């Protein structure tokens, strides 16, 4: 059974395993299966060129699905953001976006202009909540400064057992400020789920803990992510079977001693 978390400090409830679509080629079936498994969050982007697939997936069930999409870091001027949002709405075949994110910071565009455009979109009801992606603590603070009437609710960043850089300052900051971390590449491009050919000590620990819980290594790696209070994982899969497996990462939790062992093995 899928567990859920609130987005930031909002009342919006999202599944702790979402459906990522970067480099996605699976069509509507895996996404529909994920929704059927309880994953109500689909993450896409202007730059993924698959918003139309997401739109096809949610036809007739739009009110049951949380759509997160992103404006490209190449389109962060005031008018550009408004234009990009309009294009995304058309491709998604919807009249609102649940979470609209700045895909990456780009110093070529004043963040003030970007966030003022975001504010206009929220004011108009076209966007419900605003997030960012690949933002550092300082970049988050600056973006929030120019978004005074609303709160940035999420930051989508790379996070997995092999890549824990955000634990230094970004993860604690987001927790302290009620910002949801959307963890992309949570399986490290398959290295944490396809472990058959890896005989390293850390993978042995992962496999042993997976056996203990009668789960797959990928499910344990995803569960490790979502065991963190404010983290939601958004793995991508092009197959129905792997989507079912990913969704099975929720509904249970690794014990503290096994979390400690994973943390030590994957330092």
53 domain-assigned: yes
- Which pLDDT does position 196 carry in this prediction? 86
Q: Is the pTM of this model over 0.95?
A: yes
The CATH number of the domain holding residue 29 is 3.20.20.100
In a domain, 195, yes or no: no
Q: Is residue 168 part of a domain?
A: yes
pLDDT digits (tens, 9 = 90+) for 78-123: 999 999 999 999 999 999 999 999 999 999 999 999 999 999 999 9
What's the chain's average pLDDT?
97
What pLDDT score was predicted for residue 220? 98
Decide if 164 is inside a domain.
yes
Task: Indicate whether 249 belongs to any domain.
Answer: yes
Per residue, what are the HEC states of the chain? CCCEEECCCCCCEEECECEECCCCCCCHHHHHHHHHCCCCEEECCHHHCCHHHHHHHCCCCHHHCEEEEEECCCCCCHHHHHHHHHHHHHHHCCCCEEEEEECCCCCCCCHHHHHHHHHHHHHCCCEEEEEEECCCHHHHHHHHHCCCCCCEEEEEEECECCECHHHCCHHHHHHHCCCEEEEECCCHHHCCCCCCCCCCHHHHHHHHHHHHHCCCHHHHHHHHHHCCCCEEECCCCCCHHHHHHHHCCCCCCCCHHHHHHHHHHCC
Within a domain: residue 49? Answer: yes
Does residue 247 lie in a domain region? yes
**Within-domain flag for 262:** no
Q: State pLDDT tens for residues 70-80.
A: 999 999 999 99
As annotated, the active-site residues are 48
∠ CA(23), CA(25), CA(26), 5° rounding?
Answer: 130
Provide the domain limits for residue 156: 4-190+218-253
Counting the structural domains of the chain, the total is: 1
Nearest alpha carbon to residue 97 among 105, 113, 85: 85
């Amino acid at each position: 059974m899928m567990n859920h978390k609130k987005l930031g400090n909002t009342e919006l409830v999202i599944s702790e395993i979402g459906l990522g679509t970067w480099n996605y080629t699976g069509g509507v079936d895996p996404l529909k299966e994920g929704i059927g498994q309880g994953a109500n969050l689909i993450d896409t982007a202007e730059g993924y060129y698959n918003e139309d697939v997401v739109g096809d997936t949610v036809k007739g069930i739009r009110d049951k699905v949380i759509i997160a999409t992103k404006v490209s870091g190449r389109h962060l001027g005031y008018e550009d953001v408004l234009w990009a949002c309009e294009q995304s709405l058309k491709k998604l075949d919807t009249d609102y976006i649940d979470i609209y994110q700045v895909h990456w910071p780009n110093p070529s565009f004043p963040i003030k202009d970007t966030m003022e455009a975001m504010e206009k979109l929220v004011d108009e009801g076209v966007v419900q909540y605003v997030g960012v992606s690949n933002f550092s603590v300082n970049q988050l603070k600056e973006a929030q400064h120019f978004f005074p009437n609303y709160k940035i609710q999420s930051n989508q960043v790379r996070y997995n057992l092999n890549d824990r850089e955000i634990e230094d300052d970004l993860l604690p900051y987001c927790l302290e400020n009620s910002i949801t971390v959307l963890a992309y590449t949570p399986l490290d491009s398959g290295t944490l789920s396809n472990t058959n050919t890896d005989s390293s000590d850390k993978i042995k620990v992962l496999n042993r803990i997976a056996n203990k819980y009668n789960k797959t290594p990928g499910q344990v790696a995803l569960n490790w992510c979502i065991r963190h209070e404010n983290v939601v994982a958004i793995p991508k899969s092009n197959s129905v079977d792997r989507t079912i497996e990913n969704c099975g990462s929720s509904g249970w939790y690794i014990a503290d001693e096994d979390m400690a062992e994973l943390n030590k093995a994957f330092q």
